[in-house]
């Protein structure tokens, strides 16, 4: 069963950011759907399990879009 979460990545500022995030998170194992909303700086993920979520967060950090804490 898939899970969904909305993460906030304050570094998102434009459509290019959104395209980069989608391109980089798409192949992450266990990540099923990636949607990015630029105005709210949100990354909506559908993922398989907690390990997939951890991989997605690590990838966001790696590409310069760390998830806001809290």
With respect to residue 69, please indicate whether it lies within any of the assigned structural domains.
no
With respect to residue 70, please indicate whether it lies within any of the assigned structural domains.
no
10 pLDDT band (50/70/90 cuts)? very high
pLDDT of residue 69: 82
Q: Is the pLDDT of residue 24 over 60?
A: yes
What confidence tens digit (pLDDT) does each residue in 26-60 have? 999 999 999 999 999 999 999 999 999 999 999 99
Element spanning 42, H or E: strand 42-47
Nearest alpha-carbon partner for 2 in 35, 30, 43, 34:
30
CATH number of the domain within which 24 lies: 3.30.70.100
Q: How far is Cα 30 from Cα 62, in angstroms, rounded to an integer? A: 18
- Tell me how far apart the terminal alpha carbons of the chain are, to the nearest angstrom: 25
Q: How far is Cα 59 from Cα 65, in angstroms, rounded to an integer? A: 9
pLDDT of residue 34: 98
| pTM recorded for the entire structure | 0.94
Q: Which domain holds residue 12?
A: 3-62
What lies within 8 Å, CB to CB, of 19 at 6+ separation is: none
């Amino acid at each position: 069963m898939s899970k969904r979460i909305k993460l906030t990545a304050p570094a998102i500022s434009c459509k290019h950011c959104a395209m980069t995030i989608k391109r980089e998170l798409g192949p992450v194992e266990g990540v099923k759907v990636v949607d990015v909303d630029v105005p709210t700086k949100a990354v909506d993920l559908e993922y398989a399990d907690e390990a997939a979520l951890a991989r997605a967060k690590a990838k966001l950090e790696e590409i310069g879009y760390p998830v806001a804490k809290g």
